[in-house]
Structure 1
Amino acid sequence: MNTKMNAAITAVGGYVPQTILDNATLEKMVDTSDEWIITRTGIKERRILEPGKATSDMAAFAIQNLLENSGVDPEEIEVLILATSTPDTILSPTAPLACVKAGLKNAWGFDLNAACSGFLYALSVAASLVESGRHKKVLLVGADKMSAIVNYEDRNTCVLFGDGAGAVLLEPAQDGTGVLDTVYKSDGSGIQFLSVPAGGSAEGTGQQTLDEKRHYVQQDGRTVFKNAINGMTTASNELLQKLSLTTETIDWVVPHQANLRIIDSVGQNLGIPKQKIKVNIERYGNTTAATLPLCLWDFHNDFKPGDKILLTAFGAGFTWGSTCVVWGDLRNNN
């Protein structure tokens, strides 16, 4: 009897910059307060990448952390998928550069942009490469230098975002662990509510766009808030129904870390107790494609083989969805 080949997460890694931007510092930069930020978002501090460093550097650091923890030879890595909304440059993909910086001499790589859902979408792509039998070691990294596209004069957005990177290694498994199934959605009309308007092919760079600061994140927070709660809730319920699972059979929920009130609302809608929901937003803020893998990195010692983990995210585009993973044994030494 043949057992289905799954793609299992066998190692995790992460990186956050040393520089901390806390709420007290933001109080001196814009008209806001620590109490307001914590009450509205749940964020106490976020990490900011040092000048001269880019998304590729954070990705490489996260990869190196994973390789050091797991003992995997970097030359064994075959593919790198980099989920990011903040590539080093517009034309050249960042993944091949991250391969060079991390010493992945035999890997080919490419970028995938689905905003805050990027890691989730890329997880399905990476899993497919393993499940097909074409590749045995696929690295997936979520990394974003959000400080590069945040306007630190806009109090509505600058309090939300931080920089960071998380990495997972996917390998074949036939023991029932790995990625079980997914439900992904998108709605292109959402671009009007959350985007960086200028700098792409629709609206290039010019003095007017620079003066109007249209190269920074612009968001209709109320609309995004409502859609995020509804999107993650409905996608998760659809996935559980698809897998004939109930919320009681889910051991952990790892949600996108955009806003603590969104996380709490999704948990309440799903009927999942807070102690099952992993949250680190208070330390990192919204690191976009990095939030999910950073949670897996932060909390991997809490996950036991056989645990069912529900991952869910919502991002610009709009993009959203949910994935269910059965946790396996990690190669990680710590």
Structure 2
Amino acid sequence: MSSAAVLCGVGAYLPPRLVTNDDLALRMDTSDEWIRSRTGIGRRHFADPGTATSDLAVEAGARALKSAGRDGADAVVVATMTPDHPCPATAPTVASRLGLTGATAFDVSAVCSGFVYALATAAGLIATGVARSVLVIGAEVNSTVLNPDDRSTSVIFGDGAGAVLLRAGTDDEYGALGPFDLGSDGTGAEHIMIAAGGSRGRGSGAEPAPGDQYMAMHGQEVFRHAVLRMSASARHVLAQAGWGVPDLDRVVSHQANQRIINQLADDLGLPRDRAVGNIARVGNTGAASIPIALADACSRGELNEGDRVLLTAFGGGLTWGSTLLRWPRVDGV
């Protein structure tokens, strides 16, 4: 036995405002059939004006703590590409609002791979003794960076937050995370980008071009890279763990697009019904998608104690990552 980060709580929060495909069709050239056939999405949640990423993160974090039967954690790691502010990080605000003032708190930015990156970072905090417990939150208010007239992005993304609590334990316990695989390829950075707002644009001295404040995405390239990178990363952690693809009971991948989820299962040679998916009801929630899907699947009874589960993600950067665990006895909140 060796030390490990063990998942012991899970929770999620979705803002109450529902936006259906028919709602979007009222303001842009699209339809319910067009969106469903290309993405598998039927609706998503958007935060009301004035609601920030930290607001969603606090709700999800509190639910994960409740799920674990705990009232605190030594550290808070928030994965997001839509922080409350460029400076400071969002995590200290979240920690303070959860009553965890003094806890280690920082953000991780790896776009839709952010939650897996944050899990690996939290596992490192536990392994090095910096923390005995870490609250890991993925949270996004994607609606604030979407061009309302761009159907290539506005029909895909939604808002929400998901969280897990990790505690120090041993690698033979259900819930123990690992091994991990993380990777990146910056030559594909332009495939998912918000061009304005950073030092590259501000340092040029030029005014941002119209639309540069919104997310732009090259859908076909993202599809190709997402399946390729997640499949390779998944196989890498399976080989490290000595598991075969048939050993997997569930795959919880980043909820990017239903076609990507299906193609990943096909690529791995896994029955599609083993892939957990809630994208039809919540859309693509970025770094929040995996923990939201975990909480949803847990509450629906789709994850059973002892199940062998693969978590895998792909996002802007380009970035990707995977890890494994045996599902513990835990209730989603």
Displacement of 1:306 in angstroms is 2.3
Alpha-carbon distance between aligned partners in 1 of 2:159 and 2:252, rounded to the nearest angstrom: 19
Which runs of at least 4 in structure 1 moved beyond 6 Å after TM superposition? Answer: none
After superposition, the Cα gap between the structure-2 partners of 1:333 and 1:148, relative to the gap in structure 1 and judged at 3 Å, is closer
Aligned equivalent of 1:287: 285
Secondary structure, counterpart of 1:302 in structure 2:
coil
Alpha-carbon distance between aligned partners in 1 of 2:206 and 2:145, rounded to the nearest angstrom: 17
Aligned partner of 1:324: which letter?
A: L
Aligned equivalent of 2:14: 16
1:110 to 106, 113, 137: 106
Aligned equivalent of 1:53: 51
Alignment of 1:160 onto 2:143: no
Aligned equivalent of 1:183: 181
Question: Which deviates the most, 130-139 or 213-222?
Answer: 130-139
Question: Which deviates the most, 129-138 or 6-15?
Answer: 129-138
Secondary structure, counterpart of 1:298 in structure 2:
helix
2:78 to 74, 82, 85: 82
Provide Cα deviations, 1:142-167, integer angstroms capped at 9, x if missing partner. 00110010001111110010000000
Q: Check the 8 A contact 1:69/1:333 in 2, yes or no.
A: yes
After superposition, the Cα gap between the structure-2 partners of 1:133 and 1:329, relative to the gap in structure 1 and judged at 3 Å, is farther
After superposition, the Cα gap between the structure-2 partners of 1:54 and 1:207, relative to the gap in structure 1 and judged at 3 Å, is farther
Alpha-carbon distance between aligned partners in 2 of 1:37 and 1:333, rounded to the nearest angstrom: 29
Alpha-carbon distance between aligned partners in 2 of 1:248 and 1:47, rounded to the nearest angstrom: 35
> Unaligned regions of 5+ residues in structure 2, if any?
none
Alpha-carbon distance between aligned partners in 2 of 1:194 and 1:35, rounded to the nearest angstrom: 25
Q: Check the 8 A contact 2:112/2:314 in 1, yes or no.
A: yes
**1:165-314 alignment to 2 at 5 Å?**
165-174=161-170, 175-177=172-174, 178-204=176-202, 208-209=207-208, 212-300=210-298, 301-314=301-314
Secondary structure, counterpart of 1:204 in structure 2:
helix
Displacement of 1:290 in angstroms is 0.1
Displacement of 1:28 in angstroms is 0.7
Displacement of 1:68 in angstroms is 3.0
Displacement of 1:276 in angstroms is 1.1
Provide Cα deviations, 1:33-68, integer angstroms capped at 9, x if missing partner. 110100000000010011111000000011122233
Alpha-carbon distance between aligned partners in 1 of 2:110 and 2:44, rounded to the nearest angstrom: 22
Alpha-carbon distance between aligned partners in 2 of 1:222 and 1:302, rounded to the nearest angstrom: 31
Q: Check the 8 A contact 2:68/2:165 in 1, yes or no.
A: no
Aligned partner of 1:169: which letter?
A: L
Aligned partner of 1:137: which letter?
A: S
Aligned equivalent of 2:139: 143
Secondary structure, counterpart of 1:72 in structure 2:
coil
Aligned equivalent of 1:318: 318
Question: Which deviates the most, 57-66 or 100-109?
Answer: 100-109
What is the aligned length? 328
Q: Check the 8 A contact 1:312/1:322 in 2, yes or no.
A: yes
Displacement of 1:333 in angstroms is 7.9
Q: Check the 8 A contact 2:18/2:43 in 1, yes or no.
A: yes
Q: Check the 8 A contact 1:180/1:326 in 2, yes or no.
A: no
Alpha-carbon distance between aligned partners in 2 of 1:150 and 1:207, rounded to the nearest angstrom: 22
> Unaligned regions of 5+ residues in structure 1, if any?
none
Displacement of 1:179 in angstroms is 0.7
Displacement of 1:316 in angstroms is 0.4
Question: Which deviates the most, 59-68 or 12-21?
Answer: 59-68
Alpha-carbon distance between aligned partners in 2 of 1:246 and 1:70, rounded to the nearest angstrom: 30
Alpha-carbon distance between aligned partners in 1 of 2:13 and 2:140, rounded to the nearest angstrom: 11
Alpha-carbon distance between aligned partners in 2 of 1:107 and 1:146, rounded to the nearest angstrom: 27
Provide Cα deviations, 1:58-115, integer angstroms capped at 9, x if missing partner. 00011122233333123xx110000000110011100001112222234220000000
Question: Which deviates the most, 198-207 or 263-272?
Answer: 198-207
Question: Which deviates the most, 303-312 or 85-94?
Answer: 303-312
Question: Which deviates the most, 268-277 or 252-261?
Answer: 268-277
Question: Which deviates the most, 94-103 or 142-151?
Answer: 94-103
Secondary structure, counterpart of 1:110 in structure 2:
strand
State TM-score, norm by structure 2. Answer: 0.95
Q: Check the 8 A contact 2:28/2:151 in 1, yes or no.
A: yes
